A = this chain, B = another copy of it.
């Protein structure tokens, strides 16, 4: 096998929940050696739901795949000294630290850079001022919950997907690689501060929401399941299946009209409107009329017929699936997808695990399980810190470190 993209890069991670662990795992799944340290017995996210009937966290397992684990008594000076030594250990491919632990005390760039001046550290924060914020409070603050859900509702709809955490984790991975590139060229280390709130706010800017308010003085309305700015909505077929049908472009829209044989009905809509539908914006303006004729047609057709007509006319569409339906009947969610493998997670069992969605070709790293907590304590102390067996034994005796518990 060829060397993976990030082979030899070493990242030390002290992080909990989604964003930090995802950032580290992203690098691990591209081949980096990611050493995660945790308090003995596990940190705040070690028992996070969903859990198995034995209380093992599928969430923790999911976000720490392919890392190595060392368990330390982080309340003791000696445990913190070990973490500091790992973070600042020498080597041109080491000296990278990813954390979302609160700043202060030993989690401080200047302190750590005193030990290794070229340290690259990505510090994920809630807010830029260091105050706490999590995906759920950030999402409340940036306005999406009040424009999500049925048009007639007046409350808020929270997101089930922790999208801000996920985007933040990927931004952390990007930032670390960018800072590492800079260090390779200049020898300079760097502290990257990454506030979760700023990630969300930046997205509001990127997608045009800020301009919509500040330039257009318009408030985005709640549009239910319609997508904004073009055509798309959910529909129910004659056999009770639900499908998402989308036309982002007028070409896709014409395909949709042809597939359904709704040319006359469309002409009537255009007659009523007094203009032809020539742009994606026009499709949005006429969305209810379009949805009306499409809904009526879809309601008379079984899914299998719709699928055939839509495929033949290159309509952009897809069925709604539950997660179980996805896993039980969608070939993309099986081992025929090279991203996925059946992997044994010790203490949990064998199930489908994803590697990186980046298909790198011949050196793609297959999915690997998460470590047991403390599984690599001894080998990390030996390899990275060059400690002897006797020294490692004494650290165990004094409960400064711990290995994996038997399953």
Given the known interface contacts A49-B229, A281-B51, the answer about A337 and B62 at a Cβ–Cβ threshold of 8 Å is: no
A379 at the A/B interface (Cβ < 8 Å)? no
Contacts of A293 in B (CB 8 A): none
* Contact B209–A357 (Cβ < 8 Å): no
In the assembly, what is the distance between CA of A354 and CA of B199, in Å? 9
Given the known interface contacts A137-B244, A220-B323, the answer about A201 and B360 at a Cβ–Cβ threshold of 8 Å is: no
A9's nearest neighbour on chain B, judged by CB, is B181
* Contact B359–A194 (Cβ < 8 Å): yes
A361 at the A/B interface (Cβ < 8 Å)? yes
Stretch from A67-75, A155-163, A387-395 that touches the partner: A155-163
* Contact A143–B202 (Cβ < 8 Å): no
* A351 partner, pick from B134, B171, B215, beta carbons under 8 A: B215
* A229 partner, pick from B50, B159, B319, beta carbons under 8 A: B50
Given the known interface contacts A59-B207, A134-B316, A201-B332, the answer about A26 and B246 at a Cβ–Cβ threshold of 8 Å is: no
Contacts of A161 in B (CB 8 A): 144, 159, 163, 203
A342 to chain B, nearest CB (A): 9
Contacts of A127 in B (CB 8 A): 332
Q: Which residues in chain A, 6-64, are within 8 Å of chain B measured between CB atoms? A: 6, 9, 17-18, 22, 25-27, 30, 44, 47-53, 57-59, 61-63
**Binary flags per residue of A317-361, CB closer than 8 Å to B gives 1, else 0:** 111111111110010110001111000010011011111111111
* Contact A50–B156 (Cβ < 8 Å): no
Stretch from A82-90, A184-192, A262-270 that touches the partner: A184-192
In the assembly, what is the distance between CA of A317 and CA of B126, in Å? 12
Contacts of A299 in B (CB 8 A): none
A139 to chain B, nearest CB (A): 8
A184's nearest neighbour on chain B, judged by CB, is B184
Contacts of A192 in B (CB 8 A): 358-360
A145's nearest neighbour on chain B, judged by CB, is B320
* A324 partner, pick from B219, B321, B322, beta carbons under 8 A: B219
A253 at the A/B interface (Cβ < 8 Å)? no
Tally A residues with Cβ within 8 Å of B: 154
Q: Which residues in chain A, 361-395, are within 8 Å of chain B measured between CB atoms? A: 361
A49's nearest neighbour on chain B, judged by CB, is B229
* Contact A62–B326 (Cβ < 8 Å): no
* Contact B358–A321 (Cβ < 8 Å): no
* Contact B140–A320 (Cβ < 8 Å): yes
* Contact A357–B284 (Cβ < 8 Å): no
* Contact B206–A175 (Cβ < 8 Å): no
A2's nearest neighbour on chain B, judged by CB, is B188
* Contact A49–B360 (Cβ < 8 Å): no
Q: Which residues in chain A, 201-246, are within 8 Å of chain B measured between CB atoms? A: 201-216, 218-220, 223-225, 227-230, 232, 234, 242-244, 246
A300 at the A/B interface (Cβ < 8 Å)? no
* Contact B280–A49 (Cβ < 8 Å): yes
* Contact B175–A62 (Cβ < 8 Å): no
Contacts of A50 in B (CB 8 A): 208-209, 211-212, 216, 218, 220, 228-229
* Contact B136–A190 (Cβ < 8 Å): no
* Contact B190–A361 (Cβ < 8 Å): yes
* Contact A248–B17 (Cβ < 8 Å): yes
A270 to chain B, nearest CB (A): 19
A291 at the A/B interface (Cβ < 8 Å)? no
* Contact A52–B215 (Cβ < 8 Å): yes
A132's nearest neighbour on chain B, judged by CB, is B316
Contacts of A322 in B (CB 8 A): 143, 146, 219
Sort A-B residue pairs by CB-CB distance and give the 10 closest, nearest first: A49-B229, A170-B170, A137-B318, A58-B208, A58-B211, A177-B177, A143-B323, A163-B163, A202-B354, A198-B357
Q: Can you pick out 14 interface pairs between chain A and chain B where the beta carbons lie within 8 Å of each other?
A: A52-B216, A61-B208, A62-B210, A122-B358, A136-B246, A141-B319, A145-B320, A162-B207, A163-B163, A171-B358, A174-B177, A178-B358, A202-B339, A210-B352
